[in-house]
Chains A and B, each alone.
Chain A
């Protein structure tokens, strides 16, 4: 099936640093989304992107839907300890099978105070 390549797999950063992670695919997606999973909990939606080229912010988070529709990135500015968790990108595939949301394997973020 389709796959999303998410990188990096893990990041260890100092509090206050900016973070950048991205997701690429060999296929086109109509929607890109970013989720965060805190330890012991289910993923929570951070940002949803619906148009190629779209740039959306949510507080310190900024995400973009790549113009080719095959990639997306997420930036976190001025990281804080509560940013720790696993970040997943996801792409929604309308073609072929209906209702198929493909997830990347996640970026594990650790923030050192």
Chain B
């Protein structure tokens, strides 16, 4: 089954404790992206990657890091989480020839205390 898998789905952590949200897709997609969703603000792009070893900032990259060492994986790293990073996070992927036609993961709800 074609899917984008995120882990963990739910996480409560404390300020400053580094965490990684993993994202993996099994569709051989070149393009992958991370979004955060907050009430009243919709979906905002954090980082994206057009292919392996190619990443770029989205609209709200501050406080986040990503890496793309393999085509299927695109982890989101919060080196020192802060309460304003409490949010619902989505990973998504697509073919480069059909960018915009995103497949989304089920989301990871992160709470930073």
Interface residues, chain A, with chain B CB atoms under 8 Å away: 1, 31, 33, 35, 40-45, 48, 88, 90, 92, 97-106
Interface pair B33/A101, CB less than 8 Å apart: yes
A31 surroundings in chain B (CB, below 8 A) = 99-100
CB distance from B9 to the nearest CB of A (A): 10
Q: Can you name 16 extra interface pairs (CB under 8 A) apart from A99-B56, A101-B100?
A: A33-B101, A35-B102, A41-B107, A42-B92, A43-B43, A43-B90, A45-B101, A45-B103, A48-B98, A99-B99, A101-B33, A101-B45, A103-B44, A105-B40, A105-B42, A106-B42
Number of interface residues of B (CB under 8 A): 27
B 89-108 to A, binary, CB cutoff 8 A, 1 in contact else 0 = 01010000011111111110
B101 surroundings in chain A (CB, below 8 A) = 33, 45, 48
A85 to B98, CA, bound (A): 25
Interface of B (DSSP majority class): strand
A selection of 17 A-B contacts at a CB cut-off of 8 Å is: A33-B100, A33-B101, A41-B107, A42-B90, A42-B106, A45-B102, A92-B100, A98-B50, A98-B56, A99-B31, A99-B50, A99-B99, A100-B45, A101-B45, A102-B45, A103-B43, A103-B44
Interface pair A105/B59, CB less than 8 Å apart: no
Closest to B50 in A: A99
Closest to B42 in A: A105
